[in-house]
Structure 1
Amino acid sequence: MPTCLLCPATPKPDRFEMSDSVPGNPQGAAEMSRNSQLERRDATMGRGAMAFYEQPIELVRGEGIWLFDANGKRYMDIYNNVPVAGHCHPRIVEAMRRQASTLNTHSRYVNETVLAYSERLLAHHADPLDSLIMGCSGSEALEVAVQMARAATGGQALLISNATYHGNTTEIRRMTFGPFEPDYKRVSFPQTYRPLAEGASEDELRDRHLGEIQRAISGLEAEGIGLAGMLFCPIFANEGLPDVPKGFLPQAAALVRAAGGLVILDEVQAGFGRTGRWWGYEVMECTPDIVTMGKPMGAGIPLSGTATSNAIASTFHEKCFYFNTTASTPLQAAVGSAVLDVIEDEGLVERSARVGSFLLSELMPFMDRYESVGDVRGRGLFIGIEWVSDREKRTADRAGAGAFVERMKNKGFLMGAAGHQNNVLKLRPPLVFEQADAELLLTALDETMREMHG
């Protein structure tokens, strides 16, 4: 296997095309093997199970920011939000091994490792977020958050974005796929690139979106439906990382609280340093009543969390019979603590801010250089490139974004697309990403854009 190269001294290749074949495994044989695997996958997982890329790849190893396929080809991981500390970080692997060989039980026993981890994680949050309920997935964390809000307020309805995604359980997927009524009132997600009103100032746009929030609240009151709260990703990640009018989120929160609702912010994508701050709600200057966490929390071990005040958590336990056999375990806590160790000791939050700022500044000129780049935006190591077919009309180009992602994969860079029209190229590398890695990525992005612009 090739050695993973993470240091700035790694020489840059002139070009990024890499052969699918290696000695002893010619391309034809590799193609036959891949087709056989896809057939077996359909047979064991069901036809239609999601797989990335026109030619899906078989990954067999990860290290740092790199992933390796079965033929030894390496790929820079610009997609995954789970390994913020890098793939297979030795400190996290060792913590996992050590705890798994000692004890792993469920949440109905008392365990110091679980308590210490909860206290340590909560110390990174703002007041009054002082209680934690652990789960195994972001979807579970959101389920708990929704139950909490309904138990604490007596209300049922939640305000959500009209282009959101929060999970895949029966209840949480309703926020994306419906049915929405009467429990979920959708409002336009805030953005400046395709504004509600052309030519409006940022303040005017903010007020228009706040007006929509207030009308939704008033509509619920008129229908006799109680308000439980609002639920947003603080940086609106699935909506395409829009630039949000300043002050929108805290003022929306004030309207919801005035109507008796609670504020739930979903940090599954934004949290743990992704934005250059510990939490996306810090960037938006809006402290929630309930916050959900997942993905990077356990570096691949199923681990999520819902944090809130002790009063809300206690009401939840009183009104909602809840326990989770495979959550709040010593193994989860040991791995979660190791993730915090790496983030803190390696300065990954600061690195996300520093390297992300460099990457964003280097990408900004792409808007002048390439007609298809309608906008570049983001925070920390979470950056979106708006791919359009008509810059003046800001026409989303989903097919073009997909073609770009495929070309980058073929060069050895794994990325994806996001946004309600799936045309926003998403750059989201592990937080161990260094400036030298960013320079390598920038060269590949530039080269691919030149190719696509003929």
Structure 2
Amino acid sequence: MLKTNAFDASASDSLSVEKRDMIERRRRLLGPAYQLFYKDPLHLVRGDGVWVFDAEGRHYLDVYNNVPSVGHCHPHVLEALTRQASELNTHTRYLHDNVLDFAEKLIGTMPSALSQVMFTCTGSEANDLALRIAEDYTGGTGVIVTDYSYHGMTKSIAALSASMGPYVKLDRDARAIPAPVHDPINPETVGKRFAADVRAAITDMRRHGIKPAALLIDTFFTSDGGFFDPPGFLQEAVDVIREAGGLYIADEVQPGYGRSGEHMWGFQRHGLVPDLVTLGKPMGNGHPMAATVVKPHILERFGSESSYFNTFAGNTVSAAVGLAVLEVIERENLLPSIQRAGKVIVDGIVELATRHPAIGSVRGVGLYASVDFVTPEGQPDPETALRVVNDLRDEGILIGASGPHSNVLKIRPPLVFTEVHSRLLVEGLEKVLSRH
């Protein structure tokens, strides 16, 4: 996953001297672990809604970035941030209305059983905290994830992110299972297969003396390639982990905040109430915020015996920002718009597939869509996906790729995307596909 669409420094001769110097300075100061996108990396300087602008003044349609969930530099969010930053920025060990107002509004978007929230700064921290709580409550250490999952960068969570590659070893007590198989012809088999794989993982854990603690899944399986259908297919797998004494942790960093256009949270597509929910990137529209939401009885012992404090999480400025993001989603009534814009994307690309056989499966819900590129033999085609990603960049459209073979076009624009923007994407994709 980490090398998908990564810049290759050995092919930098065609870049300007200024850009090569900047890339070299970055390498020298930041070291080798950081990566850049695209064959010709972007030098971005400004954002506005669904658009970003580079140092030369060229604008790009952002079809990739779920972090500025309500659009780059949304004025309501900026106003909340600057107003609170000019008054007070401090931690949660003092009383303040902001964190309570934010917590109340956030919890109010979820099923009533999920009624307590603990704030963190990143989704990695949120998943790390959820794992600690799950292990404390269950007494287990076994965690089930999917084959190409990504849940974060802390030591414990990187070891549960199979997409990190073989250098980062999967946790000894974890088991990685196949992501759900997209099967529109036999949709009833999707959930049954996935539940069977969860059962097999639990059986293997017990054979090795490991007690199950949790099923940790990104509700839309975004890193695995994006799998959404049929609605409700996750229920049996969740029943299986609970029967084994484990908990269901819904990683909503990418599916959450209304991205489906149907509900506020991805797990609601499956009619589920998780035991813990982890949130991240979209919460602060670019401000570093995340959270773990939990059923109170699961948190009770951990919270009583192991006090929690995070210097920056839940601070007065972050809470003001988080509240403002929720207000934008509500006031601008974004969910119906998300559905309309997403339908234009999926319908448009399905039509393109009738004329461009390189397009295989097209899957989507709301403003998250996955487009498989395949060879004439039907095998994953990462070369075409990479070419399309870079050609779209040259056309002023920013997009990414995902999946274990890096052959899946990953479409997840800011939630303020409209049908007009969706048509621009489809037209751009048709243009680059028609060249070959």
TM-score, structure 1 length as denominator?
A: 0.89
Deviation at 1:351, TM superposition (A): 1.1
Which residue in the other structure is 2:338 paired with? 352
Q: Residue 316 in 1 paired to residue 306 in 2?
A: no
Which residue in the other structure is 2:243 paired with? 258
Deviation at 1:246, TM superposition (A): 5.0
Aligned match for 1:290, one of 260, 276, 294: 276
- Superposition misfits of 4+ residues, deviation over 6 angstroms: none
Relative to structure 1, is the Cα distance of residues 245 and 435 closer, same or farther in structure 2, using a 3 angstrom cutoff? closer
Relative to structure 1, is the Cα distance of residues 51 and 84 closer, same or farther in structure 2, using a 3 angstrom cutoff? same
Q: Which runs of 5+ in 2 are unaligned?
A: 1-12
* Kept in 2: contact 1:190–1:245 (CA 8 A): no
Q: For residues 201-212 of structure 1, what are the structure 2 equivalents within 5 Å? A: 201-212=186-197
Q: For residues 237-252 of structure 1, what are the structure 2 equivalents within 5 Å? A: 237-245=222-230, 247-252=232-237
Please tell me the residue identity of whatever aligns with 1:342. Answer: V
Relative to structure 1, is the Cα distance of residues 316 and 349 closer, same or farther in structure 2, using a 3 angstrom cutoff? farther
Aligned match for 2:423, one of 439, 445, 450: 439
Please tell me the residue identity of whatever aligns with 2:333. Answer: G
Which residue in the other structure is 2:383 paired with? 399
Give distance in 2, aligned partners of 1:397 and 1:229: 34
Please tell me the residue identity of whatever aligns with 2:404. Answer: H
Give distance in 1, aligned partners of 2:171 and 2:226: 26
Deviation at 1:245, TM superposition (A): 5.0
Q: For residues 124-143 of structure 1, what are the structure 2 equivalents within 5 Å? A: 124-143=109-128
Deviation at 1:222, TM superposition (A): 3.0
Give SS of 1:52's match.
Answer: coil
Relative to structure 1, is the Cα distance of residues 311 and 48 closer, same or farther in structure 2, using a 3 angstrom cutoff? closer
Give SS of 1:171's match.
Answer: helix
* Kept in 2: contact 1:275–1:381 (CA 8 A): yes
Which residue in the other structure is 1:234 paired with? 219
Deviation at 1:321, TM superposition (A): 4.2
Which residue in the other structure is 1:419 paired with? 403
Give SS of 2:370's match.
Answer: strand
Deviation at 1:219, TM superposition (A): 2.4
Please tell me the residue identity of whatever aligns with 2:308. Answer: Y
Relative to structure 1, is the Cα distance of residues 289 and 131 closer, same or farther in structure 2, using a 3 angstrom cutoff? same
Relative to structure 1, is the Cα distance of residues 429 and 224 closer, same or farther in structure 2, using a 3 angstrom cutoff? same
Relative to structure 1, is the Cα distance of residues 295 and 363 closer, same or farther in structure 2, using a 3 angstrom cutoff? same
Q: How many residues align?
A: 418
Deviation at 1:127, TM superposition (A): 2.5
Please tell me the residue identity of whatever aligns with 2:365. Answer: R
Deviation at 1:319, TM superposition (A): 3.8
Give SS of 2:387's match.
Answer: helix
Give distance in 1, aligned partners of 2:148 and 2:305: 31
Deviation at 1:315, TM superposition (A): 2.2
Deviation at 1:129, TM superposition (A): 0.6
Relative to structure 1, is the Cα distance of residues 366 and 182 closer, same or farther in structure 2, using a 3 angstrom cutoff? same
Give distance in 2, aligned partners of 1:383 and 1:309: 31
Which residue in the other structure is 1:7 paired with? none
Aligned match for 1:79, one of 64, 75, 78: 64
Give SS of 2:434's match.
Answer: helix
Give distance in 1, aligned partners of 2:231 and 2:47: 39
Which residue in the other structure is 2:173 paired with? 183
TM-score, structure 2 length as denominator?
A: 0.92
Give distance in 1, aligned partners of 2:232 and 2:74: 38
Aligned match for 1:40, one of 25, 46, 57: 25
* Kept in 2: contact 1:147–1:320 (CA 8 A): no
Relative to structure 1, is the Cα distance of residues 340 and 205 closer, same or farther in structure 2, using a 3 angstrom cutoff? closer
Deviation at 1:288, TM superposition (A): 0.5
* Kept in 1: contact 2:344–2:419 (CA 8 A): yes
Q: Residue 364 in 1 paired to residue 350 in 2?
A: yes
* Kept in 1: contact 2:190–2:233 (CA 8 A): no
Give distance in 2, aligned partners of 1:387 and 1:122: 39
Tell which structure's C-alpha radius of gyration is larger.
1
Deviation at 1:428, TM superposition (A): 1.3
Deviation at 1:75, TM superposition (A): 0.4
Relative to structure 1, is the Cα distance of residues 48 and 168 closer, same or farther in structure 2, using a 3 angstrom cutoff? closer
Please tell me the residue identity of whatever aligns with 2:179. Answer: F
Deviation at 1:221, TM superposition (A): 2.5
Aligned match for 1:379, one of 365, 368, 393: 365
* Kept in 2: contact 1:240–1:419 (CA 8 A): yes
* Kept in 2: contact 1:270–1:280 (CA 8 A): yes
Give SS of 1:369's match.
Answer: coil
Deviation at 1:434, TM superposition (A): 1.1
* Kept in 2: contact 1:230–1:261 (CA 8 A): yes
Give distance in 2, aligned partners of 1:245 and 1:29: 46
Q: For residues 56-205 of structure 1, what are the structure 2 equivalents within 5 Å? A: 56-175=41-160, 176=162, 177=164, 178-192=168-182, 201-205=186-190
Quick check: 79-88 or 242-251, which moved more? Answer: 242-251
